[in-house]
Amino acid sequence: MFSQLFYFMKSFTYFYCFDWYFYTMIEEQVILVNENDEQIGLMPKMEAHEKALLHRAFSVFVFNDKNELMLQQRAAHKYHSPKLWTNTCCSHQRAGESNVEAGKRRLQEEMGFVTELEESISFIYKAPFDNGLTEHEYDHILIGKYQKAPNINPEEVLDWKWMSLEAVKSDMSLKPELYTEWFKIIFEKFYEHINITEK
């Protein structure tokens, strides 16, 4: 009986791991949009980045009661911008998924928590990378509040910290090479929209 149970558990573990591996090997699709953020199709994420096609994305900014922003340092094995500091999390919406739903999902996947999010502004940016890929995104900014430490996913995030927006802005001007391109663009053009000090 025990040998049969052991065999069952071993088989279950094998197939579970295989299914998870197979799932992670399936490349996620992004939503292609026009300049009005209207969906015009779907495409594998890597292909969209190789062709620099405009697609929908979101960037989450989580603040604490001191109005400090939670930053994350991207994992070392990321295919672009590894080890660079950026906003709390960011990614791409899935087909049929709202901006807020996508933001909450990715917060859980990357930072290990969920909080309420509000939509702020949106904008289009284009940022080429050294590896030949290009981020060309219609980016939606989502803002939330949280007080505790995150439970970071080491597959996605190397480190994290709280920083005031003024401290981020100052450090970014001194050491821009430490920050992601999209994060620098947001700070340069839309700083007043993510600064919730007076809200």
pLDDT in tens, 81-90: 999 999 999 9
Q: Which residues of 152-183 are buried (b: 16+ CB within 10 A; e: fewer)?
A: beeebbbebeeeebeebeeebeeeeeebbbbb
Q: Residue range 142-159: average pLDDT? A: 97
* Segments of 34-77 assigned E as strands: 39-44, 55-63, 68-74
Q: Is position 137 annotated as part of the catalytic site?
A: yes
* Neighbour tally for 19: CB within 10 Å: 10
Contact between residue 68 and residue 148 where contact means Cβ atoms under 8 Å apart? no
Q: Residue range 166-175: average pLDDT? A: 95
Catalytic residue among 89, 90, 110, 135: 90
Q: Residue range 176-197: average pLDDT? A: 80
Q: Residue range 50-54: average pLDDT? A: 96
Q: Residue range 10-39: average pLDDT? A: 64
pLDDT in tens, 107-149: 999 999 999 999 999 999 998 877 788 999 999 999 999 999 9
Residue 3 pLDDT exceeds 70: no
Model pLDDT, residue 12 = 38
* Residue whose structure tokens are 């025990």: 2
Model pLDDT, residue 196 = 53
Model pLDDT, residue 193 = 72
Q: Is position 90 annotated as part of the catalytic site?
A: yes
Catalytic residue among 110, 135, 137, 181: 137
| Higher-scoring residue by pLDDT: 2, 164 | 164
Give the domain ranges of the chain.
29-194
Homologous superfamily (CATH) of 29-194 is Nucleoside Triphosphate Pyrophosphohydrolase (3.90.79.10)
The pTM (predicted TM-score) of the whole model is: 0.83
